Amino acid sequence: MIIDAHVHLSLYDGNANSLADSKTVLLDEMRRRGIDRAIVIPDSQEARYDIAGFETARTLIDDADPLDLLGSPDILDGRVQDFDRYEILLADRTIHGLKFFPGHEPYYPTDSRCLPYYEIGQRQRLPVVFHTGENPENRDAARFNDPKYIAEVTERFPALSVVITHYFWPRIEYCYEVTKDVPNIDFELAGTADGAVVRASGGIGAMRDVLGRMIQDHPSQVMLGTDWPMCNIQGHLDLVDSLGLNQPTATGCWVETRRPFSNCRYDITNP
């Protein structure tokens, strides 16, 4: 089973006419690329026309769809105290983890407003996912999501499953150095095959090299993600295939990374 652990229901580059339509396009694309299930990440803001927030995504996704949802707490709006609500959504597996957007939004992973959510994730044994790296329109954004802060979170919450997405591009070697000895960080590959990301990060050779080492170090802690529709699914499948890890190794790494269901700690086997 191949699971894409990072997609959005959103309008991008004329892919769809509506958010409902974008779900249809996504399901088509998954069928075409051999993706069995996908995890939809809602935006932290509701009521945007171009990307589904949690409530919109929940109404668009049917039980029969091979799609599962994360939650995306709004950290900046001090009026929103959503801890109880998210605890229930996680407990009944309406959502399968929480996504945080430091850098997209001006807060650090160590921000005190985030900590109660990490406690909930730890208690419910479900992961928290951190956006990392630059934003094309705001390079300064990366100072908020430096993996050194994410490593601090893992020290403070040792039983919490923590996931880094986008590998802190373009500083991928730095991300490797900062995280290589941290036991409880998982990695999800969304964006790492995107042309602009690859170019800014030193080229495809540099990307393959660092991801190859990271997968060797953490063979059961890496999962496929694509960031569809901003990035294309096939490019990410090709990148992973090109790592030359698709034969089981002594540690069984590649088979496992292609099957995040079995090991990625997103408990979506019992929705």
Binding site for Zn ion (CB under 5 A): 227
Question: Residue 75 or 245: which CB sits closer to Zn ion?
Answer: 75
Output the residue with the shortest Cβ distance to Zn ion. Answer: 227
Longest dimension (CA), the chain: 51
At position 268, the amino acid (one-letter code) is: I
Side-chain-side CA neighbours of residue 116 (13 Å): 12
User: Could you tell me which residues come within 8 angstroms of residue 59 by beta carbon, excluding any fewer than 6 positions away?
Assistant: none
CB of 92 to Zn ion, least distance (A): 25
Q: Distance between CA atoms of 170 and 196, rounded to whole angstroms?
A: 10
Q: Which is nearer to Zn ion, 194 or 227 (CB)?
A: 227
- Give the shortest CB-227-to-Zn ion separation in angstroms: 4
CB 219 within 8 A of CB 204: no
Q: Which two tokens stand for residue 246?
A: 């698709």
**Shortest distance in whole angstroms from residue 139 CB to Zn ion:** 18
- Classify residue 230 as exposed, middle or buried by CB count within 10 Å of its CB (0-12, 13-18, 19+): middle
Q: Are 38 and 26 in contact (CB under 8 A)?
A: yes
**Nearest distance in Å: CB 153, Zn ion:** 19
Kindly state the smallest distance separating residue 38's Cβ from Zn ion, in Å.
Answer: 12
Residues 6+ away with beta carbon under 8 Å from 262: 256
Q: What angle do CA 252, 192, 177 make, to 5 degrees?
A: 70
Which residue, 197 or 253, is less far from Zn ion as judged by CB?
197
The Cα 244–Cα 6 span in angstroms is: 23
Q: Residue 166 Cβ, how far from Zn ion at the closest point, in Å? A: 8
The nearer residue to Zn ion, 4 or 227, going by C-beta atoms, is 227
- Our CB check for Zn ion shows the closer of 10 and 220 to be 10
CB of 91 to Zn ion, least distance (A): 25
* Cβ proximity to Zn ion, 193 vs 245, nearer residue: 193
Q: Check if the beta carbon of residue 53 is closer than 8 Å to that of residue 82.
A: no
Beta strands in 175-270 (DSSP E): 185-188, 222-223
Count of CB atoms situated within 10 Å of the CB of 19? 21
Give the residue with the Cβ less far from Zn ion, 188 or 267. 188
